[in-house]
A = this chain, B = another copy of it.
Amino acid sequence: MSGAPIDSFKALAHPTRFAVLQSLIGKERNVGEIEEATGIAQPGLSQQLAVLRNSRLVTTRRDAKLVYYSLNTELFVDLAAILAQFGPVDDANIPPAVKRRFTTGVATFARMG
């Protein structure tokens, strides 16, 4: 057993996958573009993309032959909310979107032992 958010953290805590995610900030890219941006050979890249897909850090969209990847920005907000729980209690540090998540219960799991 491992827990969904732990899997997400594990998925992003990886040099090449992190580089892939960085290449997707602000723009979607197809696999070929990611391959070019990161220099990882196709089958290996496809594996790493599968890890990112399974952890739901990215979403895909197909346009004809090409598959476009983009960040699941919602999930990143959730993950940031979880990490914020380990930060200072100082209310100024709790972001609006994160605060929303607290009351919505998304990050609640991390408060339970």
**Chain A residues near B (Cβ < 8 Å):** 1-3, 6-7, 9-10, 12-15, 18, 21-23, 25-26, 37, 71, 73-74, 76-77, 79-80, 83-90, 92-98, 110-111, 113
Contact = CB atoms under 8 A, between A and B. Distances in A.
Closest 7 CB pairs of A and B: A95-B95, A9-B13, A10-B13, A93-B97, A76-B86, A80-B83, A76-B87
A3 to B, nearest CB: 7
Q: Determine the main DSSP class of A at the interface with B.
A: helix
Nearest to A26: B89
Contacts of A113: 22-23, 37
B25 A6 contact: no
Given A87-B77, A95-B95, A15 B37 contact: no
Given A79-B83, A95-B94, A9 B6 contact: no
